[in-house]
Amino acid sequence: MKNTTKLKNILQLYTVSLDIDEDTNFYLTILNKRTRSPETFIDKKYSIVIGKAFSHMMKEIKKIQNNT
């Protein structure tokens, strides 16, 4: 799955903030639109932080589905 597709899926459930520091570390913070709980992912590569956020989202979806 392409990063743009992952980001599109993430944006449906989360508000996203993306930043980079002087050492070129990417900081991707997601804020759940329903629960308002934040998570931050940090890495040197954009594709890695997107992948981590997408993986987190999928785990949260599975957790919700298993509780119903």
Q: What is the pLDDT of residues 9-68, one digit of tens each?
A: 999 999 999 999 999 999 999 999 999 999 999 999 999 999 999 999 999 999 889 986
Which residues are within 8 A (CB) of 52 and not within 5 positions of it... i.e. 6 or more apart?
28, 41, 43
Contacts of 60 (CB under 8 A, 6+ apart): 13, 32
Please report, for the domain that includes residue 11, its CATH number. Answer: 3.30.160
∠43-21-58 over CA atoms, to 5°?
35
Domain limits at 28? Answer: 3-67
Do residues 15 and 29 touch, judged by C-beta distance below 8 A? no
* pLDDT given for residue 10 in this prediction: 98
In this prediction, residue 64 carries a pLDDT of 85
User: How many separate domains does the chain show?
Assistant: 1
pLDDT at 1: 86
